[in-house]
Chains A and B, each alone.
Chain A
Amino acid sequence: MLDVRLPIGWLFMVLGVMLAIYGYANPPAENMLLGQVLLPLNLDVPWGILMALFGLSMVSLAQIDKLKTLELELAASKAEAATEKVSDTEASAKG
């Protein structure tokens, strides 16, 4: 079944990159106005990068888990094949 970390990861990567590029290309005309105070912050850029990194980590975690599962399955099938081989040899020796 679909690993939920994949859609989350890809969504955040796409949105994060979009936000960062948009923020970089279109800096706000005036700095963030908060009440009476101006903050020198173009928030889209750092927040976009943070989101993209979060997305990347989600996708990576999902991929690592997928690889681990594949390795385990491979090891299990190898062990199964080895057992079959041993039992075949024993059977032919008895025969």
Chain B
Amino acid sequence: MKTALVTAQPIDYAVILIYFIFVLGVGFKLKKNMKSSDDFLLAGHRIPSWVTGLAFLSANLGAIEVMGMAANAAQYGVMTCHFYWLGAIPAMVFLAVFMMPFYYKSKIRSVPEYLRKRFNEPTRALNAISFAVMTVLMSGINLYAMAIVFKLLLGWDMNASIAVAALVVLAYTITGGLTSSIYNEVLQFFLIVFGLLPVSILGLLRFGSWQNICDRFDNPGFAHLWKQVASGTNPMGVDMIGLIGGLGFVLSFGYWCTDFLVIQRALAAEDLKAARMTPIIAAFPKILFPILTVFPGLIAIILIPKLGTNNDSLSYNMAIPYLLSVMYPNGLFGLGITALLASFMSGMAGNVTAFNTVWTYDIYQSYIAKNKSDAHYLWMGKLATAVGIIISVGTCYLCMNFKSIMDYMQLIFTFFNAPLFATFLLGMFFPRTSAWGAFYGLLSGTIAAFLHYILTLQHKLNYQSDMAGNFHRSVVAWTVCLVVTITISYLTKPKAREELRGLVWGIDLKDDGTAVKTSIFASPGFFGVILLALTAYLNYLFF
């Protein structure tokens, strides 16, 4: 076994232990509120928007975000910010302004359920099954990343740390359900901020100014977002089509607007206004998150020039853990480790709580055991939570075979989220889209992504990097789904206009007189414009 990089003191273990006690305490405290399957799987629709907003952000703040983004920054420089300012903010604003009203008002319990209402049962089944597979494939990433960090930083046995983390997540999700998962995500958000911000502050103190940092990059393009993209010589190996079409449009909108893992947090909100404000509240801190993830990656590559020279203790993924071990005194080191641990555990819990809902409502209740009592579905939700965690442990060992966790994740997104976004776009904004058009479109989009991947593996299609391949694959999957859906929709019968009420743009629900008029300055659209203006300014600043 590798020796640890730093000696942890009892104070560091005490910080971790206290965090565990609080996490488990939250789960047990919420246990008495879990009376129905709705309480357990949907958090009873009673959570305020600032809580769902931070949970919306944190569900995505797992291993990939914290370790993967810093690793990318050390490897590719400021270009990594594209994952935030191009690949997240516009899609989050679009979700809040245009799509959330359909999700919330149609009273669906999950994203596949929207597909059943808008299209038909087979489309829902296809999405439910692919989503269930995707979430368990993803949740293992967090366990894997956690085990690696603890092995290299503290010398812990990988199998033991996987088992401990899986048991803690099991304990708090099975007792408190989605509410417990959301509460722990909010807790984790603040832990990440307090646990990682000192790295950036110390980094800035060390170098004095941003200009001094830029002067130390071997490649001057590291300080720019767009400068090297046009010439095609950037280290990420991406071109304009891949970056804007793949990341900026298909992958980002596909993830933020259709992935039930994040949508579920907004659906748990207390009313429509809170649900629409959820992505907006999440987007403001999201704009600033590169300070916690990208900036440390840039500091790491200057302070530790050997980073990236091996795939073990000096892999790019170790950028943040390594900085914690050289910059932090004991005590703060424990806090930093706890922040990482919290992000891995809540990243996993997010996937598991989305999986148990889709399994219980969209697969089990719909196709296996209809018309059972609510107590039965509550029991099934809990069983699905436990099984989801066991499968996650299995997929954790699967992702050990992949070179980079970021590539593994984007690859899975190209199969499932990329075509799904075309289905949603057509379903919500194009009434002519027929049920069978959507089904065959979605199926062919996913098959096209698989075929594209096989051709890439056989080197019949070549890209400068795995990342560029993923971006292009997503564009292919999206386009195939779009074309097939439109073609088949014109060959088959669309649903009657009355059946589409409240599900399609322009065909509203009948006004029941309960709608509350809000000032334009408190509307998601107004905040959306502010967010887009800020994002545009940051792109200009780091051009």
List chain A positions with a Cβ less than 8 A from chain B. 1-2, 4, 7-8, 10-12, 14-15, 18-19, 22-23, 26, 28, 32-35, 37, 39, 42-44, 47-48, 50-51, 54
| Bound CA span A54–B189, Å | 13
- Asked if B22 and A10 make an inter-chain contact with CB atoms under 8 angstroms apart, the answer reads yes
- Asked if B335 and A1 make an inter-chain contact with CB atoms under 8 angstroms apart, the answer reads no
The residue that A7 contacts in the complex, of B26, B33, B51, with Cβ under 8 A, is B26
Query: A2-B29, A12-B190, A15-B18 are known contacts; what are 8 more A-B pairs with Cβ within 8 Å?
Result: A1-B30, A2-B30, A4-B183, A7-B26, A19-B11, A26-B331, A37-B206, A43-B329
| Bound CA span A18–B12, Å | 10
For residue B51, which residues in chain A have a CB less than 8 angstroms away from its CB? 4
- Asked if B202 and A18 make an inter-chain contact with CB atoms under 8 angstroms apart, the answer reads no
Binary interface profile of B, 1-44, with partner A (CB < 8 Å = 1, else 0)?
00000000001001100110010011001100100000000000
The residue that A39 contacts in the complex, of B18, B194, B205, B332, with Cβ under 8 A, is B205
- Asked if B202 and A39 make an inter-chain contact with CB atoms under 8 angstroms apart, the answer reads yes
Interface of A, helix, strand, loop or mixed by DSSP: helix
**Considering the complex, which residues of chain B in the window 166-222 have a beta carbon less than 8 Å from any beta carbon of chain A?**
179, 183, 186-187, 190, 194, 198, 202-203, 205-206
For residue B432, which residues in chain A have a CB less than 8 angstroms away from its CB? none
For residue B194, which residues in chain A have a CB less than 8 angstroms away from its CB? 12, 47, 50-51, 54
* CB proximity of B215 to chain A, nearest CB, Å: 14
For B33, B194, B202, B303, which residue has the most chain A Cβ atoms within 10 angstroms? B194
For residue B328, which residues in chain A have a CB less than 8 angstroms away from its CB? 43
List chain B positions with a Cβ less than 8 A from chain A. 11, 14-15, 18-19, 22, 25-26, 29-30, 33, 46, 51, 179, 183, 186-187, 190, 194, 198, 202-203, 205-206, 302-303, 326-332, 335
* CB proximity of A34 to chain B, nearest CB, Å: 4
For residue B22, which residues in chain A have a CB less than 8 angstroms away from its CB? 7, 10-11
* CB proximity of B103 to chain A, nearest CB, Å: 23
The list of the 6 closest CB pairs from A to B, nearest first, reads A34-B206, A44-B331, A11-B22, A22-B331, A28-B329, A4-B183
Measured CB to CB, the nearest residue on chain B to A46 is: B198
Q: List 30 A-B contacts (CB under 8 A).
A: A1-B179, A2-B183, A4-B187, A7-B26, A7-B187, A11-B18, A11-B19, A11-B22, A14-B18, A15-B18, A18-B14, A18-B15, A19-B11, A22-B11, A22-B330, A22-B331, A23-B329, A23-B331, A26-B331, A28-B329, A32-B327, A33-B326, A34-B203, A37-B206, A39-B205, A42-B329, A43-B202, A43-B332, A44-B329, A47-B194
Measured CB to CB, the nearest residue on chain A to B186 is: A4
* CB proximity of B157 to chain A, nearest CB, Å: 26
| Bound CA span A49–B25, Å | 24
- Asked if A19 and B335 make an inter-chain contact with CB atoms under 8 angstroms apart, the answer reads yes
- Asked if A47 and B205 make an inter-chain contact with CB atoms under 8 angstroms apart, the answer reads no
| Bound CA span A48–B186, Å | 20
The residue that B327 contacts in the complex, of A2, A19, A34, A54, with Cβ under 8 A, is A34
* CB proximity of A48 to chain B, nearest CB, Å: 8
| Bound CA span A48–B330, Å | 12
| Bound CA span A43–B328, Å | 8
* CB proximity of A7 to chain B, nearest CB, Å: 5
Measured CB to CB, the nearest residue on chain A to B205 is: A39
Measured CB to CB, the nearest residue on chain A to B180 is: A2
For residue B179, which residues in chain A have a CB less than 8 angstroms away from its CB? 1
* CB proximity of B46 to chain A, nearest CB, Å: 7
For residue A47, which residues in chain B have a CB less than 8 angstroms away from its CB? 194, 198, 332, 335
* CB proximity of A19 to chain B, nearest CB, Å: 5
| Bound CA span A15–B15, Å | 7
The residue that B329 contacts in the complex, of A7, A14, A32, with Cβ under 8 A, is A32
